[in-house]
Every structure is written in structure tokens, then in C-alpha cells.
Amino acid sequence: MKCAISPRPVALVCAVMFAILIIAHYQSAAKLRENAKSLREQRDQLSALAEENVRLSNMLLQISGPKIRASAPSAELLRLRGKVTQLRYEADMLREENRERHHQDSINEMYATGGFDTNGLPDPDLGTTKGEVISEIKNGPATIVTEEDRFIRAEAVVANTNGGSMALVMKFGFDEGGRLFTRTDSEK
């Protein structure tokens, strides 16, 4: 007994799958362009702040002259050094985020194709407030492991349709205004 498969349904299924792949590709490319634009803007801001820091340091030296001793820096100089350290840390975080974004899609895109149910996981947009992120984490299956002023680490176990599960680690970074500016997800 011969079982003949009509080529029309097969072609239709292939066309739909191809269309889905193209749409997913364009959405991913749009996200990367948006993230790259945001990173460029942040880089420009950091650059401007670094220039301002140099300018203010030079002004301080001109005003104070020989009165400042190397062994006793002024409060303003210490504040500026702290700001430089903070800006370097943020620049390093942005570089790391940029590297990871080139290799990592969102948590939902990464694991949904593998049969993992990521619908309940927090997926806040960049710019979301820290309070909103915490609320979204608490309303889902994730648990906050570490919470600091500018950083949250959360973990969750996600079930697979095949009966398995996977532990995920989500890291959220916040700017000085308490707004989400970076997020990375990885398997635990």
C-alpha cells in the first residue's frame, strides 16, 4: 500500500516555517540595532563625563595651585576620583553587555524553541524602574538572590515540555536613576 503525500501541504508548511524564521530574524536585528544605538548614546555620555572630569580636575589644580599636597587630596578631588571609578565600572559593564548581546537573544527567544516554558519569567524593557523589575520578579517563578542599589540577581527553574527542567540566572543592572540599563541571562 502506497502512502502519497501531497506536495501542497508540505510546501505550505515549509513556507510558513520560512516566514516565521524571517520574522524572528528581523525582530532580532531590530533589537540589536536599538541596543547598539542605546550603547552608543551611553558611550557618548561617558565620554562627555570623562572630558568634564578632566576639565574640572584642571580647574581645581589652577585654583588651588601648590596648596594641595599629594598626601592630602581635597574632598572635591576624592569625589571626582570616585566618579571616574564609577564611570569606568559602568563602561566595563556596557562593554560586557555589548559582547553578550551579540551572542545572546532574550531568555524567551533562547529557550522557547527548546520546549522550555519561559512565559512566567520577568522580561522587563530597558529603562524600567528597579521597583517594577522587583515586582515582575516576585510575580513569577523567579526568586531574588541578591539585591543591591544598582544590581539584582534572580534565579528560576524552568520546566521543559519533555519533563525536564533547567535553572536560570538573571542579572539586572541599574543606572544612577534606578532604571534598568542591562540584563543578562544564563544557565546556572
DSSP letters along 37-89, please? HHHHHHHHHHHHHHHHHHHHHHHHHHHHGGGSBTTB--HHHHHHHHHHHHHHH
Residue range 45-74: average pLDDT?
Answer: 76
Tell which wins on pLDDT, 23 or 11: 23
Is residue 24's pLDDT more than 70? yes
The pLDDT of residue 148 is above 70: yes
Contact 154, 138 (CB under 8 A): no
pLDDT for the residue 168:
86
Using a pLDDT cut of 70, give the percent of the chain over it.
83
* Residue boundaries of the structural domains of the chain: 8-103, 115-188
For 100-175, strand residue ranges (E) read 143-148, 151-159, 165-174
pLDDT category of residue 144 using cuts at 50, 70 and 90: very high
What does DSSP assign to residue 134? H
pLDDT of residue 118: 75
Give me the pLDDT at residue 140, please.
85
As a whole number of angstroms, the distance between CA 11 and CA 45 comes to 51
Q: Which of the two residues, 103 and 25, has the higher pLDDT score?
A: 25
Average pLDDT, the chain: 82
